Amino acid sequence: MKLLKDQVVWITGASSGIGEALAREMSAKGAKLILSSRRIAELERVKNSCDHPEHIHILPLDLTDSAGLEAKVATSIALFGHIDMMVHNGGVSQRAIVAETDIAVHREVMELNYFSYIILTKALLPHFIERRSGYFVVTSSVMGKIGTPMRAAYAASKHALHGYFDSLRAEVYQYGIKVTILTPGYIHTPIAVISGDGSFLSNKSEQINGGLSADKAAGQIIKAIQNETYEPFIGKFIGEERLALFVKRFLPGLFTRLIPRFGMPK
């Protein structure tokens, strides 16, 4: 995977944000792309903004349609005859304290951020095993490594991804299949944010609005893929989220004392 030229890459959540930026970067490097999300018009816009739209297929996909996801894998493989890389990128964020978050919201966030990835992965895995090659690139979050106030449902869904894909990496190593779990910090994207009662919030946090641009994030992700990095941090070189990862890893007691005061979204 040192080069992306002629690699067939399937990207979910490709209609905006990191997915859109990755599509442009990968197309510029000669990859053949399958772009998926619910918003067909936006996928067409992204396709037409890429350097090589003639090497891009659009595959509409609703990650909340659990029953229909497995069939989409067969359709995606048929588009180019095979798939080299699956980029799991669709998802939703969440902001509410635990006491005010409905159980239905926890289920909704887990269904979209975790179970959709697992269903697609399990359905695609036999194809990778048969070819003895393949690459899963998984968009997790710094919240997959730490927990902060008002992010319980989101953090839980991202923590689950690390457990699953770490285990998968160990199982499929013998087949030459790679797994990279991306841990982005604050990235300036239009990600949907769900509240405790299930409604969507119109305002993003100051941290997201001031985060790394999606284009720069895509550049870091491409480098991580080319280096086959297991769990790269994606974000600003100097930022509170990178510091939080360091403190949680090496000074967990200090992290626990500080996070109630400094971990609230602004």
Q: Which DSSP letter does residue 113 get?
A: I
- Residue 64 to residues 91, 114, 263: CA-CA distances in angstroms? 10, 11, 30
Judge contact between 217 and 187, C-beta under 8 A: yes
- Residue 108's closest CA among 12, 189, 37, 194? 194
Judge contact between 142 and 184, C-beta under 8 A: yes
Name the β-bridge partners of 194.
94, 200
Name the β-bridge partners of 77.
none
Catalytic residue among 114, 117, 154, 186: 154
- Residue 46 to residues 126, 216, 263: CA-CA distances in angstroms? 30, 17, 34
Residue 154 is among the residues annotated as catalytic for this protein: yes
> What are the tokens at 243?
């510091």
At 16, the amino acid letter reads: S
- Residue 76 to residues 36, 83, 120: CA-CA distances in angstroms? 10, 8, 11
The backbone torsions φ and ψ at residue 214, rounded to the nearest 5 degrees and listed phi first, read -60, -35
Which residues of 53-211 form beta strands (DSSP E)?
56-58, 85-88, 93-94, 134-139, 177-184, 187-188, 193-194, 200-201
- Residue 198, sorted as left (phi over 0), alpha (psi -120 to 50) or beta, turns out to be left
**Residues acting as catalytic residues:** 154
